Amino acid sequence: MRTDTLIELLARDAGPAPRALAARRLAPAALAGLLASGGIAVTILGAIPAPMFASHVPWTKIAYAGALALATGWLNARLARPAASADAPRGLALAVFGAMVTLGAATLWAEPAELRLSALLGQSWKTCPFSVLFLSLPTLAAALWALRDLAPTRPRAAGAAAGLLAGSIGAIGYALHCPEAAIAFVAAWYTAGIALTGALGAALGPLVLRW
């Protein structure tokens, strides 16, 4: 087929380009992932006792992970487009992370020195990052699937962004199960789980995001 013929074929009756394609692909992926990870956290891992929802415990985590999910969702939308700059969403994600670390360090500092380590490690520091990773897998699959229909030209970066978004959403789900109360715990181990998912996404990106 000659190139002219192909152009004719593509242009004929092409109609308008789909609008806001990145948002229309990524938002349902994120939403489906959120429902999946929340559902698994509540049904398989078990929810925290109901009275705890009146305390700050789950809400601090959800606010942190939710803010990260918004920033990294924006990052995905940028990396899904050739030539778009990712600086602003990356800066926002780092600012959210920085604020949480500062808050965690401040609360830790306020504790008596001999209690600091146990506040930081809690009861579940060893399992927390892996639980977050586990709960983020549905979103990771959905986000990578969504990116394949968009145009990520930096597959490793886009894969990492998909992983960070998935990790943030997995962390929201995990907040429904996790009874740890220390902000420093969340800043350290939730973030570790999100970073772990980001690393998995970065490893998968070049393999999966081929088009």
Partner 1 sequence: MNADASPGDFESGLKPLWLRAQSGDAAAYRLCLELLAARLRGFFKRRLVGLPDAVEDLVQETLLALHLRRGTYDPELPVTAWVLGIARHKLVDLWRRRGRRDALHDPIDDVAERFLAVDPEDGGAKRDLDALLRELPPAQQRAIVLTKIEGLSVAEAATRTGASESAIKVQVHRGLKRLAARVRSVDPT
Binding site for partner 1 (CB under 8 A): 1-4, 6-22, 80-84, 149-151, 153, 210-211
Place of tokens 């490793």: 156
Closest to partner 1 by CB, 47 vs 203, is: 203
Q: How far is the CB of 172 from partner 1 (least distance, A)?
A: 27
Closest to partner 1 by CB, 7 vs 52, is: 7
Closest to partner 1 by CB, 11 vs 110, is: 11
Alpha carbons 35 and 17: distance in angstroms, whole number: 30
Alpha carbons 152 and 175: distance in angstroms, whole number: 31
User: What angle separates helix 87-110 from helix 113-121, to the nearest 10 degrees?
Assistant: 140
Q: How far is the CB of 73 from partner 1 (least distance, A)?
A: 15
Q: How far is the CB of 80 from partner 1 (least distance, A)?
A: 6
Alpha carbons 194 and 190: distance in angstroms, whole number: 6
Look up residue 49 and give its amino acid: P
**Considering just the CA atoms, what is the radius of gyration of the chain in Å?**
20
Closest to partner 1 by CB, 80 vs 100, is: 80
Alpha carbons 181 and 43: distance in angstroms, whole number: 21
Q: How far is the CB of 87 from partner 1 (least distance, A)?
A: 13
Nearest by Cα to 163 from 68, 44, 64, 51: 68
Question: For residues 129 and 197, is the Cβ–Cβ distance under 8 A?
Answer: no
Closest to partner 1 by CB, 87 vs 149, is: 149
Place of tokens 């606010």: 63
**What is the DSSP-derived secondary structure letter of residue 35?**
H
Q: How far is the CB of 66 from partner 1 (least distance, A)?
A: 25
Closest to partner 1 by CB, 4 vs 114, is: 4
Q: How far is the CB of 206 from partner 1 (least distance, A)?
A: 9
